[in-house]
A and B are shown apart, each in its own frame.
Chain A
Amino acid sequence: MHTSSFTANRVSAKRYVTTGIVPRVILVLMCTLFALPFYWMIVTSLKGSTELTVFPPTLWPRDPVWRNYRDAVLFIPFLRFFMNSVILAAGATIGAVLSNSVIAYGFSRIPWKGRDILFYIAIATVFIPFPITLVALFDIFARLGWINTYLPLIVPAFFGNAFHMFLIRQFLMGISHDLSDAARIDGAGELMIFSRIILPLMKPALAVVAIFAAVNAWNDFLSPLIYLQTQELYPLSIGLQFFRAEHNIAFSLLMAASTLVVIPIIVLFIFFQRYFVEGITIGAIKG
């Protein structure tokens, strides 16, 4: 794979420029473009109050003010919001893993009449704009007395999600039926086959679902905005709005807080990179 001999030959040298250098230059430029807003986020988060108002803006903080991070965390009950976000993400993740594993099994490993039609209906719901149910769901949850609790944010996760179901089903379709057929001949029931044979095999797909569910819950804005009314319950998405309400808030604190919100997702990505890519790629609906 190594191109150590390219200098010996002009043709391959030219080829190296077109296949090795040009794509790299383009890719680096693209990555730079995508990284610029985040570069600015970090740079701004480290500027002192006088440097913030310097014009033209400085491209690198002259004297990084790390205190901004402490101030940002103290400006709002950051830790509380952070923990609330973690609780919501954990609840949604548990719900997603439990429900979608069972549902996807029913949609892929048992042959029954109407299964595929029902599954296509489930997939079609992905394209329905979610806000359509917004008003009515709020009223339903209000009647249940669930407003200002985490129930409207977590309970629905226990009833499956079309995208997650789809991911696990795609995965299960690729697993041979030999083992489950043998177990069936030995008299094992469907629940037994599910829990003893298929569930352990499902782990990679479940990891993908868990990660997507956690990220989605962490990033969710509209639902917590509607359902939560007291500050003690706010996740970071809503808690961060306190910075907005304050008109004179320094950009530096806002950016410090944004950095702190973004970091957990990046850490998650670094640890579970493989699963993110797999999830998206399976998620590409075939033809």
Chain B
Amino acid sequence: MGIIRGRNLRNGLLFVSPWIFGFIAFQVYPIFYSLRLSFTRYSGFGPPTPIGLDNFRRLFSDPLLWKAAYNTLYYTALAVPIGVVVAIVLALAMNQKVREVAVYRALLYVPSILPIFALSFVWVVFSNPRYGLLNHLSRLVGLPVIDWIGDPRWSKLSLVLLAQLGAGGPALIFLAGLRAIPTELFESAEIDGAGPIRRFFRITLPLITPVILYDIILGLSLGLQVFTQAYVIASTGPNTMVGPDNSLMFYVLYVYRNAFQFSQMGYASALVWVLFMVSLALALIVFRWAKSWVHYEIE
């Protein structure tokens, strides 16, 4: 028995060894390496100069960093709840029992696999205050015309709306959750006189809470690393504002500029470590909070 166990351990480790190597080389090591770099001044060439905690001290007196952090948290705080609600609404629609439902599912899902760098261009044209369809439709129904990208009050919400084109992916996961709910539960609730809204809040919603938690955690991670949309739409040069009034200067974009445009690899490493810590802390808070509302009992 011991021989088999030993052989299995050896074989198992051999099979997963590519992952172990990749995990250490591309994830663990870089994270610690950037911790080391965060205590140095480093342009990317020559040896890093140790400067102690200077980079971290600098964080506190860098107004643009605070702007970027504020923008990123603002974006994430909007994108996560809106994303969850939109995905659930799409999933409920995709779960309707109509014959051609597969067609609707496909149409709602496809935008989520399209490249965000192209969708960003489409969004610029679509939301243009003068020539875009969005504001044209607003004018037709009497809604105010909004400069979705050019107005700092709206630009972040505008990117949140753009992100909703990707809701079809999470919606399919919610759909799988919806279909796993035993139909008897709905039938007995219907006999008890519960209407569709009551059934949704009493049965459906509690039973998909594990998926909601998953979507929140994933959305949090994606929200904190928002980059491409802002870069494509608003970052025109290394020293320019990102969006009106820097309203689209996001955290990772600021890291990008410091590391790759200003050759401040040490400072960028400190920034990245702060992001790492904040992400972990937020994820832990969400998991803690989730204990009070996630239902695990029914399989």
Q: Which residues of A contact B (CB under 8 A)?
A: 1, 19-20, 23-24, 26-28, 30-31, 34-41, 43-44, 52-53, 55-57, 59, 99, 102-103, 105-107, 110-113, 115, 118, 121-122, 125-140, 142, 156, 158-160, 165, 190, 194, 215, 218-219, 221-222, 225-226, 237, 240-241, 243-244, 251, 254-255, 257-258, 261-262, 265-266, 269, 273, 276-277, 280-281, 283-287
Contacts and interface: CB of A to CB of B under 8 A. Distances in A.
B9 A112 contact: yes
Given A37-B126, A133-B30, A287-B299, A1 B19 contact: no
Contacts of B106: 269, 273
Interface in B52-94: 90, 93
Q: Which of A24, A44, A57, A134 has the most CB of B within 10 A?
A: A134
A105 B15 contact: yes
Contacts of B29: 136, 140
Interface in B254-275: 255-256, 259-260, 265, 268-269, 272-273, 275
Contacts of B204: none
B72 to A, nearest CB: 11
B96 interface: yes
A226 B260 contact: yes
Contacts of B96: 23-24, 26-27
B291 interface: no
Interface string B240-260: 000000000000100110011
Contact of A132 (B175, B236, B275): B275
A127 B17 CA distance: 22
Nearest to A107: B16
Contacts of B19: 99, 103, 122, 159-160, 165
Contacts of A159: 18-19, 21-23, 25-26
A254 B15 CA distance: 46
A38 B117 contact: no
B104 A31 contact: yes
A131 B125 contact: no
Contacts of B97: 19, 23
B296 interface: yes
Contact of B228 (A43, A106, A113, A222): A222
B114 A137 contact: no
Contact of A31 (B25, B107, B131, B279): B107
A136 B113 CA distance: 29
Interface of B: 5, 8-9, 11-23, 25-27, 29-31, 33-34, 37, 44, 90, 93, 96-99, 101, 104-111, 113-119, 121-126, 128, 130-134, 136, 139, 165, 168-169, 172-173, 175-177, 210-211, 214, 217-218, 221, 224-225, 227-228, 231-232, 236, 252, 255-256, 259-260, 265, 268-269, 272-273, 275-276, 279, 283, 296, 299
What is the predominant secondary structure among interface residues of chain B facing chain A?
Answer: helix
Given A55-B130, A127-B218, A136-B34, A37 B165 contact: yes
Contact of A222 (B99, B176, B227): B227
Contact of B12 (A41, A106, A129, A218): A106
A127 B217 CA distance: 7
Contact of A269 (B15, B113, B136, B225): B113
Given A127-B217, A129-B275, A287-B296, A23 B98 contact: yes
A207 B53 CA distance: 49
A240 B232 CA distance: 10
Contacts of B232: 221, 241, 244
B110 A266 contact: yes
Given A40-B132, A132-B31, A283-B173, A103 B16 contact: yes
Given A127-B221, A254-B125, A265-B115, A136 B15 contact: no
Contact of B122 (A38, A215, A244): A38
B11 A110 contact: yes
23 contacts: A24-B96, A24-B98, A57-B136, A59-B136, A112-B5, A112-B9, A128-B221, A130-B225, A132-B31, A132-B272, A132-B279, A133-B26, A133-B27, A133-B31, A133-B34, A137-B30, A190-B15, A219-B114, A221-B116, A240-B117, A257-B121, A262-B115, A281-B173
B249 to A, nearest CB: 15
Given A38-B111, A269-B110, A136 B122 contact: no
A215 B14 contact: no
Contacts of A115: 12, 16
Q: Which of A34, A41, A281 has the most CB of B within 10 A?
A: A34
Nearest to B225: A129
B293 to A, nearest CB: 14
A57 B131 contact: yes
B221 A41 contact: no
B162 to A, nearest CB: 9
Contacts of A40: 122, 125-126, 132-133
Nearest to B97: A19
Contacts of B123: 37
A135 B169 CA distance: 29
Given A24-B98, A132-B272, A125 B23 contact: yes
B18 A136 contact: no
Contact of B121 (A38, A165, A255, A277): A255
